Amino acid sequence: MRQNARKFGLSLAALILAVFLVGTAVLAPCLVSAEDGRDGVTIRDTSGMEGSGGGEPVGPPLASPGGGDIIFEQPPLEPWIVAYWSDRAEGYLCMDDFWGLTKKIGDIHWYGISQQLAPFSLDCDPTGMEFQIIFYEDSGGYPGEPVATFSNVTPVISLCGVGPSYRFDINALEAPVSLTQGWVSVQSTYSPNGCFFAWITSHTGNNNLIQNGIHAGANLAFALTGAPPPPPNVKYLHSTGGLFNLTAPIGTQWHELYPVFCRHYHLSSWNDTSGDGVLSYCDWIDMYEKPDGAVKPYHVEEVTITLYLRPELNELIRDGFGQIFLGEPMYIELEGGYDPAALTDPIGTQWHEVYPNFCTSYNLTAWDNTGNSTLDFCDYILLIDKESRNVTSWHVEDVAIDIVVCREPPPVGGEAYPVNRASLLAPWIAVGVVLAVGISWYILRRRRVQS
């Protein structure tokens, strides 16, 4: 009995120790060390290699807050060797290509260092740095026309290791980018601390990095995360009053395009949560389904512009019986949010279909302005399907405001607080202490009985 108790006690103690060690495991950091280079390039100092860097901070795992997965990645070299300047004030712009995407781009993450020239430093505080991110079409292995531009964005910055190097995360682009292949440029545009950005390289890719229009024969370290699907309770609503003053949305009428076509709503109240004085992202509105549905709160996810289109007369379709008829009309939504400039200079703007084929993406390539200098009723446009590359001609029937809204999530109770390692380990430590005391008591009791 004494031997069995001792074996039981040792086995249970080993199990507790294993659980404790698994709970305290940490990731190894990436390593960096560098000195200033020339011609827009920073090169690592091989004579002063840093040590292992054990215990250094490491950025959180790549992931979309909405559940999107990584759809393209060129991981950083560890330790990094070369970093290419990409800063507006210093006059440098870097870009690299990507391919094989099967989902829309929802997030972007890139790796680099924050430098200062006078006095020289590789440890300039990157807090508050702003960037411009541009996605381009691919044109035979070179950057083509810009597809989406995001200006004055402030990423989440995570220390990647000693040196130091950083990971910069935009965890939710203002609008998903629809490209199966293309190019992306990232350029720092402002720093409150006088820093500038240098983009570190990757060991994977096709050596297609371009800096200031010149191929450098290297790869930049970045990753793209797929845009998550719309939440199940999202609604795409089209204003039946066309374009209206966004400072006065109360009383406007809407009809649903997606997911249930043509239900009608009345907007009865508005809470300008964002504080910008116009109906915009993050505001709250109350609506009821007409004629007499219950009033319900909705969170505004996006405000943009919608075109209601019918195929032009030369886009006739012949069915199997020889009958000729016009193709089906559709509603398309401007990507990138509400931008009145897209109506006065629409060529090159990007749109995605909401109805009838949700999320087919288009590039507006031509515009026949039949009236004033604004895209509106009776104009004609050409659209290129970004995936099939088919070109179709359309007659503009209506131009209106479009909103994407989501029902208020039900309350779950309690409050959320930052997670720390100690709070996660505390229950395991407590269990270990209780079990250890119990084992000791059991063994001592058995000894007393045996003696």
Query: Sorting pLDDT into bands at 50, 70 and 90, what band is 211?
Result: very high
pLDDT digits over 372-420, tens only? 889 999 999 999 988 778 899 999 999 999 999 998 654 433 333 333 3
Chain segment 121-152, per-residue pLDDT in tens: 788 999 999 999 999 999 999 999 998 899 99
Q: Per-residue pLDDT averaged across 212-235, rounded?
A: 88
pLDDT in tens, 176-197: 888 889 999 999 999 999 999 9
State residue 163's pLDDT score.
Answer: 67
C-alpha to C-alpha distance for 44 and 32, rounded to whole angstroms: 8
- Region of poorest pLDDT, from 184-193, 197-206, 267-276, 428-437: 428-437
Residue 228: pLDDT band with limits 50, 70, 90: confident
pLDDT of residue 404: 94
Could you tell me the end-to-end alpha-carbon distance of the chain, in angstroms, rounded to an integer? Answer: 12
Inform me whether the pLDDT recorded for 14 exceeds 70: no
Rounded mean pLDDT of the chain?
78
Residue 31 corresponds to which tokens in the numbers above?
């390593």
Q: What is the DSSP letter of 281?
A: T
Position of tokens 């300047």? 85
Confidence band for 231, pLDDT divided at 50, 70 and 90: low
Strand partners, 295: 288
Q: What mean pLDDT comes out for the span 254-261?
A: 93
Band of the pLDDT at 38, cuts 50, 70, 90? low
Q: Which long-range contacts (CB under 8 A, 24 or more apart) does 242-245 make?
A: 242/398, 242/399, 242/400, 242/401, 243/305, 243/399, 243/400, 243/401, 244/401
Strands (E) in 312-376, as ranges, are 316-318, 324-326, 330-334, 350-355, 361-368
Is the pLDDT at 41 greater than 90? The verdict is no
Element (H, E) at 373: none
3-state class of 220 per DSSP? strand
Give the C-alpha separation, 5 to 21, whole Å: 24
pLDDT band at 205 (very low <50, low <70, confident <90, very high): very high
The pair of three-digit structure tokens given for residue 291, joined into one six-digit string:
């004629």
Helix axes 421-450, 2-23, angle to 10 degrees: 170
Cα separations in angstroms, 154 against 180, 275, 283: 26, 20, 21
Nearest C-alpha neighbor of 126 from the set 74, 71, 163: 163
User: What is residue 65's predicted lDDT score, i.e. its pLDDT?
Assistant: 52
Look at 17-21, 256-260, 342-346 and tell me which has the smallest mean pLDDT.
Answer: 17-21
Q: What is the DSSP letter of 201?
A: B
Most confident of 23-27, 58-62, 165-169: 165-169
Helix (H) or strand (E) holding 28, with range, is: none
Cα gap 304→302, rounded to integer Å: 6
DSSP assigned state of 294: P
C-alpha 323, offset from chain centre: 46
Confidence of residue 63 (pLDDT cuts 50, 70, 90): low
